[in-house]
Amino acid sequence: MTVAGAVQQSNREQAERMSWWTEAKFGMFIHWGLYALPGEGEWHMYRSKIPVAEYESLADQFNPVRFNAKEWVQLARQAGMKYIVITAKHHDGFAMYGSQAEPFNIVDATPFQRDPMKELARACQEEGMRLCFYYSHVIDWHHPHSVHPSANNI
């Protein structure tokens, strides 16, 4: 097999994998994380040049006790949506799930101490709703080895 053949096959396989999304047409994309507290959007840390240590303190205040995964999924279903995409970790480096690799996460660093990604996955599975995670790896302003030009400790 040639390289061109492998690429062509990969493109075809990718098209097959993504056909569900093309056919779904309507879904929900949720950006949710520590940046919800100041209400400035997911690029708040970067645009406002907030140092990592200062930004980390938002975790002490992040306690979304009204979060209800089943309600979110039911609302999406009632609206006719076929999928949900949610930020599991955005560029600020805060994980919205429990992580053994990084303590800067919703379970270990907040008073909430729950795993909303796990809860959402369970609710989506129960309702037959497709769930996708947005995970920022290359750009991580919290990580000292991020490749972003203004990575961390801004």
pLDDT at residue 76 tops 90: yes
Q: Structurally, how many domains does the chain consist of?
A: 1
pLDDT for 55 beyond 90: no
Alpha carbon distance 146, 142 (integer Å):
8
- If you count them, how many residues does the chain have? 154
Instruction: List 44's β-bridge partners, or say none.
Output: none
DSSP 91: T
Within a domain: 153: no
Which domain does 104 fall in, by range?
A: 25-135
For residues 101 and 106, give the distance between their C-alpha atoms in angstroms, rounded to a whole number.
Answer: 13
Residue 49 corresponds to which amino acid?
Answer: K
What was the pLDDT predicted at 3? Answer: 46
Alpha-carbon distance 150 to 43, whole Å?
12
Is 10 inside a domain boundary? no
**140 in a domain, yes or no?**
no
pTM passes above 0.85: no
| Range 43-52 contact pairs with CB under 8 angstroms and sequence separation of 24 or more | 43/91, 44/92, 45/91, 45/92, 45/141, 45/154, 46/91, 46/141, 46/150, 46/154, 49/154, 50/154, 51/153, 51/154, 52/141, 52/142, 52/152, 52/153, 52/154
Rounded mean pLDDT of 30-42? 89
Q: What integer pLDDT is reported at residue 139 of this predicted model?
A: 75
